[in-house]
Amino acid sequence: MSTASSTQKIAILSVYDKTGLLDLAKGLIKNNFKLLGSGGTATLIRKNGIEIDDVSAITKFPEMLGGRVKTLHPAVHGGILARNIDSDDNDLSNLNISKIDIVVCNLYPFKETIAAPDVTIADAVEQIDIGGVTLLRAAAKNHQRVTIISDPNDYSGVLEQIEEKNEISQDFRNKLALKAFEHTADYDSTISDYFRKVYSPQVSQLSLRYGANPHQKSAQAFVESGDLPFKVLSGSPGYINLLDALNSWPLVQELSSSLNLPAAASFKHVSPAGVALGLPLTDVEKKIYFVGKNDLLSPLANAYIRARGADRMSSFGDFIALSDIVDVATAKYISKEVSDGVIAPGYQPEALEILKNKKKGKYCVLQIDPNYKPNPVETRQVFGVSLQQNRNDVKLDVGNFKIISKNASLTPQAITDLTVASIALKFTQSNSVCYAKDGMVIGLGAGQQSRIHCTRLAGDKADNWWFRQHPRVLEIKWAKGVKRPEKSNAIDLFVTGQVPTEEPEKSEYESKFETVPVPFTADERKEWLSQLTDVSLSSDAFFPFPDNVYRAARSGVKFITAATGSVMDQAVIAAADSQDIVYLENPIRLFHH
């Protein structure tokens, strides 16, 4: 090695991707840089007539272990990490080490290697770069003095600055350091992702058949440290199953904790179709929810029966969340309904066997760790961009919300129902409005761009729930062999006033009945709906116009909680006063996406 002069700067080059390498080396030589290179990098540059010394010229140590150890040496890293301070200069002088000014490095192709269909663990291990990562991190750490180049696209920019200014600006070094840190972070993430799949399947990583749609492959669920907070006891969860499960579980956990009762949720496409507390069923409820008079029930079973029963059409094929250990009564009811799976903190042995037998053993049963606490910061990706925010862990205390209406007669039951509705909205796709009564959601309008459409949709669902309790519905005589989903469909057409009048739909509809029920008249509908009262409503944000209040009142709403902040607040509150509604100001907006 020819010794570099005290003023000659040194660049060390160690790259796998050799794109643009020769032009960079020529440019550095032209600007009086001393070049050091490792392995194949030095060989390629030297073969093309460019002067370069091997790294071993300064380490006084040959490459070893088949190339696994090349640049890991104090002569290299001391030269990179040294700062422009007297103590560091003295250390280098005493050890005869020269400062290194530029590090050019990119890493072994681990990502490309593991993409091969026949890759072995040994193949993957050999592509884990050690020296390169250390070079990158050392140079990036000391970017106040050292320039780290990890991307061939930056070669020309570096040479331009050297030729024009005889130095590289601090701003450019900062950007290059960030790029190097991102390079190593992505590299490490790829490695850990590979070994999670190899060494920790079903523990910290779970492979899925596909994503939201069958053509979206390479789907998985994983945590970056520790174990997944749930275990798969039966079946094979899909991507959307897990979206439902992991949104519905915190809902029932929070609701049960807030009101000290078992809670259940029926989820479809990342919003609840129903949410309820485990309160006893009336005889009417048993009938409209298809529960036998002598069926064995429990508080948890009641919670799910009510959650599922509020909107049976939307709950068809749901994912279930239960706050408590699943008992036999609950499992037996679940076994009768069409659903995709269930998540709960535990299962009685007999209950688990009942659920495992559902769908010929393919029914998805998840056991969640009730003590799991997610990271307080959550991150998601949209179109390649990461969005980050603090998790919405606010606790709602409806009883302390400020009453801003003339009527201040807030009942204990209304506090319970407003709590049910508000917590449900916290986990519902916005915009959303929720109607609740007697400890259960009876109508939920989710994911609408217009607030009045949320209020109308939720109100129509609440009306549907109420009309299903009409004596004419309870007295329906069904044709033999009609299944529960078919009954639910027929009832839905009947109570919403959409009875088919044209063939062949008319005959299909009438075939479900032993005696076809007579449709409601307008006066009958008005009279029955007038008996629905003491309904509570929560909105995930303010009402922009009073029309929401008037629509809610038509479905028996007597209690409303919503945020304020609209220019129309006073008009909205005046509308509530005109309907003698108790209106509470929710200090927390509850958007969820």
CATH at residue 510:
1.10.287.440
Task: Please report where in the chains the tokens 């009309």 appear, as a residue.
Answer: 467
pTM over 0.85: yes
498 and 546 co-located in one domain: no
Residue positions counted in the chain:
593
Q: Which of 18, 26, 175, 269 is catalytic?
A: 269
pLDDT band at 1 (very low <50, low <70, confident <90, very high): very low
150 and 170 co-located in one domain: yes
Question: In sequence order, which residues have a C-beta less than 8 Å from that of residue 399 and are 6 or more positions away?
Answer: 415
Nearest to 77 by CA among 123, 28, 140, 26: 140
305-326 tens-digit pLDDT: 999 999 999 999 999 999 999 9
Last residue of a domain, which of 316, 334, 368? 368
**Residues 133, 189 contacting (CB under 8 angstroms):** no
Does 141 qualify as catalytic in the annotation?
yes
Burial category of 577 from C-beta neighbours within 10 Å (exposed 0-12, middle 13-18, buried 19 and up):
middle
Last residue of a domain, which of 368, 384, 404? 368
464 and 506 co-located in one domain: no
Q: Which of 26, 141, 231, 359 is catalytic?
A: 141
What share of the chain in percent tops pLDDT 90?
87
- Whole-angstrom distance, CA of residue 427 vs CA of residue 391: 12
Q: What is the pLDDT of residue 150?
A: 96
**Residues 154, 17 contacting (CB under 8 angstroms):** no
**Residues 396, 564 contacting (CB under 8 angstroms):** no
337 and 420 co-located in one domain: no
226 is a domain residue: no
169 and 277 co-located in one domain: no
pLDDT band at 5 (very low <50, low <70, confident <90, very high): very low
510 and 558 co-located in one domain: no
pLDDT reading at 249 higher than 90 = yes
**How many domains in the chain?**
4
- Whole-angstrom distance, CA of residue 368 vs CA of residue 526: 46
Q: What is the pLDDT of residue 64?
A: 66
Q: What is the pLDDT of residue 447?
A: 94
pLDDT reading at 4 higher than 60 = no
pLDDT reading at 292 higher than 90 = no
223 is a domain residue: no
161 is a domain residue: yes
224 is a domain residue: no
pLDDT band at 109 (very low <50, low <70, confident <90, very high): confident
- The distance of Cα 98 from the centroid of its chain, to the nearest Å, equals 50
pLDDT band at 539 (very low <50, low <70, confident <90, very high): very high
Domain that holds residue 538: 394-470+521-592
pLDDT reading at 182 higher than 90 = yes
Domain harbouring 93, CATH code? 3.40.50.1380
Q: What is the pLDDT of residue 2?
A: 39
437 and 333 co-located in one domain: no
124 is a domain residue: yes
Q: What is the pLDDT of residue 75?
A: 86
550 and 486 co-located in one domain: no
388 is a domain residue: no
455 and 494 co-located in one domain: no
Average pLDDT over residues 422-447: 97
Last residue of a domain, which of 368, 385, 404? 368
378 is a domain residue: no
357-372 tens-digit pLDDT: 999 999 999 999 999 9
333 and 274 co-located in one domain: yes
- Whole-angstrom distance, CA of residue 439 vs CA of residue 164: 74
Does 269 qualify as catalytic in the annotation?
yes
* DSSP per-residue letters across 230-281: EEEEES---HHHHHHHHHHHHHHHHHHHHHTS-EEEEEETTEEEEEEE--PP
103 and 187 co-located in one domain: yes
68 is a domain residue: yes
Mean pLDDT taken over the chain:
93
pLDDT band at 126 (very low <50, low <70, confident <90, very high): confident
pLDDT band at 131 (very low <50, low <70, confident <90, very high): confident
Compare 142 and 292 and report the one with higher pLDDT: 142
460 and 482 co-located in one domain: no
pLDDT band at 6 (very low <50, low <70, confident <90, very high): low
89-103 tens-digit pLDDT: 899 999 999 999 999
Domain harbouring 361, CATH code? 3.40.140.20
pLDDT reading at 108 higher than 50 = yes
**Residues 346, 365 contacting (CB under 8 angstroms):** no
